Amino acid sequence: METQNMPREQLGVCAEGNLHSVYLMFNANDGVEAQLRPCLANVAQYIYELSDQYADSAFNGFVAIGANYWDTIYGEQRPAQLRPFPAMQEGNRDAPAIEYDLFMHIRCDRYDILHLVANEISQMFEGLVELIEEERGFRFMDSRDLTGFVDGTENPKGRSRQEVALVADEDNQFKGGSYVHVQKYAHNLSKWNRLPQKKQEDIIGRTKQDDIEYASEDKPLTSHIKRVNLKDADGKSMEILRQSMPFGSLKEQGLMFISTCSKPTHFEEMLRSMVHGDGHGNHDHLMQFTKALTGSSFFAPSLDFLAQFAN
Ligand code: HEM
């Protein structure tokens, strides 16, 4: 990807994993757009500067705007492919859409800093927005999901994180931005933990302890890996950058699934393949053990896009 003339990306979009995260979902009050635009510019700039100040704790984050709110706040200059979350359902597999106006995603290896920054952001937004949802994520063991399987292994690495996650020349005005999809999954861990390990491994398509990918011929068509490992019409792998983390407490726990990508289609196709399957009855068996409670679609613009509205 051409990096010359690339607007500055928001650093949380492609950042490496952290120990802690805070997710804040807001809806905006009516008629506040003129004040909210500079406020979003300030919050994004604040997050950007903290990445330097707290570099030792790998602080990062991003601000994203909901697909249904975009036109209200930024009018006609809309990212070419921004659209609502693709709600879908088949059998007992449900992927509902629950949209929010704004998503603040902040991560750090120090929980106290995150708490401080979350308070600060909330204060910067005072009178403009309402906090609808808050979750806190954490690293579990050696970057495992609460199912006990390592999550993130096949994520793009190095510079290909940017190539996968950021809009490039195809939409010049929104270069350096990213399409973001969020689903809060609540796991049924008692059901999952009753499964013998080999059955769990067959559902994921990798070994549990050592995180080794099954040989192609051994991967069940209903395994998670099989369902999400898709190719486009040219035979090229469809990729997304996952920024998911476990969240919750004993009452409700699971995975905050977060995908960032230069286009929404890859996530949409993967989710379709999980829920509706391959047309031969092979859907993702992982969905028997976890339930999507939310599904939201956002765009995280470049820092420079947001900054043009600073006052
Ligand atoms: C891979 C867990 C939802 C896309 C994986 C892996 C695990 C996992 C354990 C294997 C290790 C790795 O490569 O990261 C989960 C859990 C989910 C979930 C627990 C929800 C509760 C999703 C969703 C999507 C998705 C909703 C996309 C719509 C992917 C992709 C890979 C992957 C693209 C890499 C596949 C490969 O190239 O081998 N997931 N996942 N996952 N997952 Fe998920």
Output the domain CATH number for residue 163. Answer: 3.30.70.1030
On whether residue 15 sits in a domain, the answer given is yes
Does the beta carbon of 74 lie inside 6 Å of ligand 1? Answer: no
On whether residue 2 sits in a domain, the answer given is no
Q: What ipTM did this prediction achieve?
A: 0.99
56 annotated active-site: no
Q: What is the pLDDT of residues 169-206, one digit of tens each?
A: 999 999 999 999 999 999 999 999 999 999 999 999 99
On whether residue 4 sits in a domain, the answer given is no
Question: Is the separation of the CB atoms in 12 and 178 below 8 Å?
Answer: no
Element (H, E) at 254: strand 253-261
Does the beta carbon of 284 lie inside 6 Å of ligand 1? Answer: no
Residue 148 corresponds to which amino acid?
G
CA of 47 to the centre of ligand 1 (A): 28
Angle subtended at Cα 185 by Cα 265 and Cα 111, rounded to the nearest 5 degrees: 105
Structure tokens at 309: 């509205």
On whether residue 1 sits in a domain, the answer given is no
Query: Coil, strand, or helix at residue 223?
Result: coil
Spatial neighbors of 28 by CB under 8 A, at least 6 apart, are 36, 69, 72, 73, 101, 102, 128, 129, 130
Residue 280's pLDDT is 97
- Calculate the average pLDDT of the chain: 97
Question: Is the separation of the CB atoms in 14 and 277 below 8 Å?
Answer: no
In order of 155, 222, 273, 281, the CA distances from 278 in angstroms are 23, 9, 6, 7
Which residue puts its alpha carbon closest to atom 32 of ligand 1? Answer: 225
Does the beta carbon of 10 lie inside 6 Å of ligand 1? Answer: no
On whether residue 253 sits in a domain, the answer given is yes
Q: What is the band of 227 on the pLDDT scale with cuts at 50, 70, 90?
A: very high
Q: What is the number of structural domains in the chain?
A: 1
> pLDDT at residue 125 above 60?
yes
On whether residue 135 sits in a domain, the answer given is yes
On whether residue 205 sits in a domain, the answer given is yes
On whether residue 6 sits in a domain, the answer given is no
Domain that holds residue 214: 11-307
> pLDDT at residue 264 above 90?
yes
Which residue puts its alpha carbon closest to atom 34 of ligand 1? Answer: 154
Does the beta carbon of 40 lie inside 6 Å of ligand 1? Answer: no
The candidate with the shortest Cα–Cα distance to 213, out of 205, 223, 203, is 205
